[in-house]
């Protein structure tokens, strides 16, 4: 199997696994316990927090560890909006249709079930949010803007520093979902100028089921998990020490090796994009041609059933993705592809190829040999 789906998840780095292992059986203490075994776990937990803070250029106490990227997004949106309500402050959320469901579905629930107001910002043809659409949408009742750093489906990088600047000038909290971005982009919160930022371990060679939320000091959150006073009373529950240790090590390595990792995948990605556009008829690149993640190639093929193409690729030994959440049954194009304005005959034929540390030129060659044959096969089946 040739794995070309690193945006879905990544294998745990050997060095990360080695860092985690002692915290399962030897140093298994509860970081909240008073005794030495607990203190040892607490020391590891706080060292991990410092390590994450060093990558983000923030204070350790501004990091909340969570159970995943999705939880970080939920806590950011729900937590700030509930705190805003408590303070009788703003009621509007601004976000975009291109966001991950962890943000968009949370925003929709806050609107439908909790009485907040929601506005979708305009995007351009590459799926980036236009700064002027944010300026226009802001009103005195806006509480929060949430826009992702890089898109998981189409790879487009948003101009977060510009967008966050606009929010700041208007005294509005700004959250960014950097879950997909952190593997390749700088997540320095000072440079980005954001108030809240979500991360998830398994997108950068860390374990699944662990995430973090950066919350700038002074930004108010109402916790969504109540119980013990863990995580500065912002997120109750005994911390998952081994996973948090792994998360911090993986993020640290991602920062240390950022340039080398990008240099490895960029030529491979560019070969895929160049050759697919050149050799296959009726295909378009989705997302931005340059301002995109270094490991990310995504396309739409006209008159192609994307799910069928994925199944055929799987049978041929390639693990790819459509970017769409739909697996079987009634196929619906993803909200992201729809938001880009593709007509129905294009929108169902999306394909995402994402590269990583184990990707080789031979993998890419082999994929580029197979793809045109399978696209034609799916198109011929479609006509019958």
Ligand X SMILES: *Cc1c(COP(=O)(O)O)cnc(C)c1O
Distance CA 295, CA 285 (A): 14
| Nearest residue to ligand X, by Cβ distance, number only | 69
> What element of type H or E holds 215?
strand 211-215
Please report whether residue 95 would count as binding ligand X according to CB under 6 A.
no
Comparison of 177 and 195: residue with beta carbon closer to ligand X: 177
Quick note: the x/- pattern for ligand X over 38-77, rule CB under 6 A, is ------------------------------xxx--x----
Q: How far is the CB of 159 from ligand X (least distance, A)?
A: 17
Count other Cβ atoms within 10 Å, centred on residue 296.
Answer: 27
Q: How far is the CB of 200 from ligand X (least distance, A)?
A: 3
SS3 content of the chain, % helix, strand, coil (to 5): 45, 15, 40
Query: Distance from CA of residue 144 to its chain's centroid?
Result: 19
Comparison of 13 and 42: residue with beta carbon closer to ligand X: 13
Comparison of 127 and 200: residue with beta carbon closer to ligand X: 200
Distance CA 322, CA 73 (A): 23
Distance CA 101, CA 108 (A): 10
Quick note: the x/- pattern for ligand X over 169-198, rule CB under 6 A, is --------x-xx------------------
Alpha helices in 257-357, H assignment, sequence order = 258-279, 306-315, 335-339, 344-347
Please report whether residue 350 would count as binding ligand X according to CB under 6 A.
no
Please report whether residue 5 would count as binding ligand X according to CB under 6 A.
no
Please report whether residue 200 would count as binding ligand X according to CB under 6 A.
yes
From candidates 49, 51, 78, 100, binder to ligand X by CB under 6 A:
100
Rounded alpha-carbon distances, angstroms, from residue 146 to 56, 126, 129, 257, 262: 18, 18, 11, 28, 26
Q: How far is the CB of 226 from ligand X (least distance, A)?
A: 21
Please report whether residue 167 would count as binding ligand X according to CB under 6 A.
no
Q: How far is the CB of 183 from ligand X (least distance, A)?
A: 10
Residues 207-226 binding ligand X (CB under 6 A) are 211
Please report whether residue 335 would count as binding ligand X according to CB under 6 A.
no
Distance linking the first and last C-alpha atoms of the chain: 30
Instruction: Please tell me the count of residues contacting ligand X according to CB under 6 A.
Output: 15
**What is the secondary structure of 120-182 as a DSSP string?**
EPPB-TTSPBPHHHHHHH--TTEEEEE--SB-TTT-BBP-HHHHHHHHHHTT-EEEEE-TTGG
Which residues are identified as catalytic?
326
Please report whether residue 152 would count as binding ligand X according to CB under 6 A.
yes
Quick note: the x/- pattern for ligand X over 129-148, rule CB under 6 A, is -------------------x
Which stretch, 29-37, 185-193, 200-208, 317-325, contacts ligand X (CB under 6 A)? 200-208
Spell out the residues 6+ positions from residue 232 whose beta carbon is closer than 8 angstroms to its own. Answer: 61, 64
Which positions touch ligand X (CB under 6 A)? 68-70, 73, 100, 102, 148, 152, 177, 179-180, 200, 202-203, 211
């Amino acid at each position: 199997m040739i794995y070309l789906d690193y945006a879905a998840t990544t294998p745990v780095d050997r060095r990360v696994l080695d860092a985690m292992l002692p915290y399962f059986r030897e140093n298994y203490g509860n970081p909240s316990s008073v005794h030495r075994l607990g203190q040892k776990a607490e020391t590891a937990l706080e060292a991990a927090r410092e390590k994450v803070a060093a990558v983000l250029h923030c204070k350790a106490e501004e990091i909340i560890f969570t159970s995943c990227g999705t939880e970080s997004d939920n806590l950011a949106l729900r937590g700030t909006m509930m705190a805003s309500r408590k303070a009788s402050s703003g009621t509007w959320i601004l976000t975009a249709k291109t966001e991950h469901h962890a943000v968009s579905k949370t925003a929709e629930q806050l609107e439908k079930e909790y009485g907040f107001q929601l506005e979708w910002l305009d995007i351009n043809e590459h799926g980036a949010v236009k700064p002027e659409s944010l300026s226009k949408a802001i009103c005195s009742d806006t509480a929060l803007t949430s826009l992702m750093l890089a898109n998981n489906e189409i790879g487009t990088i948003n101009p977060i520093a510009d967008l966050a600047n606009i929010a700041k000038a208007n005294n509005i909290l700004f959250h960014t979902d950097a879950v997909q971005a952190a593997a390749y982009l700088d997540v320095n919160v000072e440079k980005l100028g954001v108030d809240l930022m979500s991360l998830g371990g398994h997108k950068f060679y860390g374990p699944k089921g662990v995430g973090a939320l950066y919350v700038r000091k002074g930004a108010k959150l109402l916790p969504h998990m109540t119980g013990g006073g863990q995580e500065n009373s912002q997120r109750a529950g005994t911390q998952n020490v081994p996973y948090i240790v792994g998360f911090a090590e993986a993020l640290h390595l991602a920062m240390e090796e950022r340039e080398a990792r990008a240099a490895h995948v960029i030529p491979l990605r560019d070969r895929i994009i160049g050759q697919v556009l050149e050799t296959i008829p009726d295909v378009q690149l989705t997302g931005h041609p340059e301002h995109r993640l270094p490991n990310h190639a995504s396309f739409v093929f006209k008159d192609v059933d994307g799910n069928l193409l994925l199944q055929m690729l799987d049978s041929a030994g390639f693990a790819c993705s459509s970017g769409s959440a739909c697996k079987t049954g009634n196929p619906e194009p993803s909200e992201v592809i729809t938001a880009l304005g593709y007509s129905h005959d294009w929108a169902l034929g999306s394909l995402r190829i994402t590269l990583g540390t184990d990707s080789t030129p031979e993998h890419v060659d082999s994929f580029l040999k197979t793809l045109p044959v399978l696209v034609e096969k799916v198109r011929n089946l479609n006509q019958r």
